[in-house]
Amino acid sequence: MAAVNPKKSGAKNNAGSFLEVGRDGYWFYGLSHVGEYVNNTGLMWQLGEKMGALLVFAEHRCEPQSHPMFNGGCPRCVSYCTTAQALEDYATIISHLREKQAQRPPAIVFGGSYGGMLAGWMRMKYPEVVDGAIAASAPIWQLSTTVTRETVDWPAVAISRGLSSAGGSSDQCLANLQVAWPLLRGLNTPSALKLLSGHLNTCKPLETVESLISWASASFFLLAEGNYPYPSSYITYAVASGSPLPAWPMREACRSLSRDFGIHVSGSRKDVNYTAKLGDLEVTVDWTYWSSNGGDLTEEQLKASGILDLATAVTKAAGVWYNVSGGQSCWNIIQAEKQPKHAGHDDPQYGKGHEAGSCSKCPPCADCPACPVSRCAGDDTPCNFTGQVPKTFAWDTIVCNDDLSQISAQGLGRDLYWPPSVSSRNFTIASMVGPHELVKASCTEQFDSMGLRGAPVTSDPWSGWMTAYYGGRNVSQHRNIVWSNGALDPWSGMGVYPVGGGPDGPMVQRINSDGSQIALVLDLGAHHLDLMFPDKRDPPCAPAAREIESQMIQQWCQEAYSKQEPLYS
Look at 80 and 310; give whichever has higher pLDDT.
Answer: 310
Residues 108 and 27 sit within 8 Å (Cβ to Cβ)? yes
Collapse the DSSP code of 226 into the 3-class scheme (helix H, G, I; strand E, B; otherwise coil) and give the result: coil
Q: How far apart are CA 480 and CA 246, in angstroms?
A: 36
What is the 8-class DSSP label of residue 441?
-
Return the minimum-mean-pLDDT range out of 95-109, 224-238, 335-349, 503-517: 335-349
Q: How sure is the predictor about 563, in pLDDT bands with cuts at 50, 70 and 90?
A: confident
The residue range of the domain holding 77 is 2-145+471-562
Residue 2 has pLDDT above 90, yes or no: no
Q: How far apart are CA 37 and CA 418, in angstroms?
A: 35
Among 495, 523, 509, 512, CA closest to 135: 495
Radius of gyration for the alpha carbons in the chain, expressed in angstroms and rounded: 25
Residues present in the chain in total: 569
For residue 444, give the H/E element and its range. Answer: helix 444-449
The predicted pLDDT at position 102 comes to 82
Residue 354 has pLDDT above 60, yes or no: no
Q: How sure is the predictor about 5, in pLDDT bands with cuts at 50, 70 and 90?
A: low
For residue 70, CA distances in Å to 62, 64, 74, 82, 294 come to 8, 11, 7, 15, 55
Instruction: Please calculate the CA angle 351-353-358 and round it to the nearest 5 degrees.
Output: 105
The CATH number given to whatever domain includes residue 6 is 3.40.50.1820
Tell me, yes or no, whether 530 lies in a domain: yes
**What is the full DSSP assignment across 347-360?**
-TTTT-SS-TTTTT
Residue 235 has pLDDT above 50, yes or no: yes
The predicted pLDDT at position 364 comes to 55
What is the crossing angle of helices 307-322 and 171-185, to 10°? 110
Tell me, yes or no, whether 44 lies in a domain: yes
What is the 8-class DSSP label of residue 382?
B
For residue 452, CA distances in Å to 322, 344, 352, 404, 457 come to 32, 28, 23, 20, 13
pTM comes to: 0.90
Note the pLDDT tens digit of each residue in 407-431: 999 999 999 999 999 999 999 999 9
Tell me, yes or no, whether 128 lies in a domain: yes
Average pLDDT estimate for 277-306: 98
Long-range CB contacts (within 8 A, 24+) of 560-564: 560/25, 560/104, 560/106, 560/131, 561/103, 561/106, 564/103, 564/104
Tell me, yes or no, whether 293 lies in a domain: no
Report the domain count for the chain.
1
The predicted pLDDT at position 417 comes to 98
Residue 161 has pLDDT above 70, yes or no: yes
The predicted pLDDT at position 257 comes to 98
Return the minimum-mean-pLDDT range out of 241-255, 402-416, 493-507, 551-565: 551-565
Average pLDDT estimate for 132-138: 96
Give start and end residues of each alpha helix (H) in 294-338: 299-305, 307-322
Dihedral angle over CA of 146, 151, 155, 161, nearest 10: -150
* Helix (H), strand (E), coil (C) string for 229-240: CCCECHHHHHHC
Return the minimum-mean-pLDDT range out of 144-158, 252-266, 549-563: 549-563
Return the minimum-mean-pLDDT range out of 16-25, 73-82, 476-485: 16-25
Dihedral angle over CA of 24, 30, 35, 40, nearest 10: -70
What is the 8-class DSSP label of residue 86?
H
Tell me, yes or no, whether 383 lies in a domain: no
Q: How sure is the predictor about 355, in pLDDT bands with cuts at 50, 70 and 90?
A: very low
Beta strands in 170-270 (DSSP E): 264-268
The predicted pLDDT at position 276 comes to 98
Q: How far apart are CA 454 and CA 409, in angstroms?
A: 32
Burial class (CB in 10 A: 0-12, 13-18, 19+), 100: exposed
The predicted pLDDT at position 330 comes to 96
How far is residue 247 CA from its own chain's centroid?
20
Average pLDDT estimate for 279-302: 98
Average pLDDT estimate for 479-493: 98
Return the minimum-mean-pLDDT range out of 250-264, 335-349, 467-481: 335-349
Residue 535 has pLDDT above 60, yes or no: yes
| Dihedral sign computed on CA atoms, order 394, 400, 403, 407 | positive
% of the chain surpassing 70 pLDDT = 84
Look at 374 and 413; give whichever has higher pLDDT.
Answer: 413
How far is residue 299 CA from its own chain's centroid?
42
Average pLDDT estimate for 381-387: 83
Residues 278 and 309 sit within 8 Å (Cβ to Cβ)? no
Q: How far apart are CA 557 and CA 552, in angstroms?
A: 9
Look at 24 and 354; give whichever has higher pLDDT.
Answer: 24
Residue 17 has pLDDT above 80, yes or no: no
Residues 118 and 111 sit within 8 Å (Cβ to Cβ)? yes
Amino acid at 4: V
Residues 310 and 278 sit within 8 Å (Cβ to Cβ)? yes
% of the chain surpassing 90 pLDDT = 67
Averaged confidence pLDDT in the chain: 86
Residue 25 has pLDDT above 90, yes or no: no
Tell me, yes or no, whether 211 lies in a domain: no
Among 517, 514, 518, 489, CA closest to 503: 489
Return the minimum-mean-pLDDT range out of 32-41, 171-180, 311-320, 487-496: 32-41
Return the minimum-mean-pLDDT range out of 277-281, 288-292, 348-352: 348-352
Among 225, 163, 239, CA closest to 492: 225
Residues 240 and 178 sit within 8 Å (Cβ to Cβ)? no
Tell me, yes or no, whether 256 lies in a domain: no
For residue 442, give the H/E element and its range. Answer: none
CB count within 10 Å of CB 71 equals 16
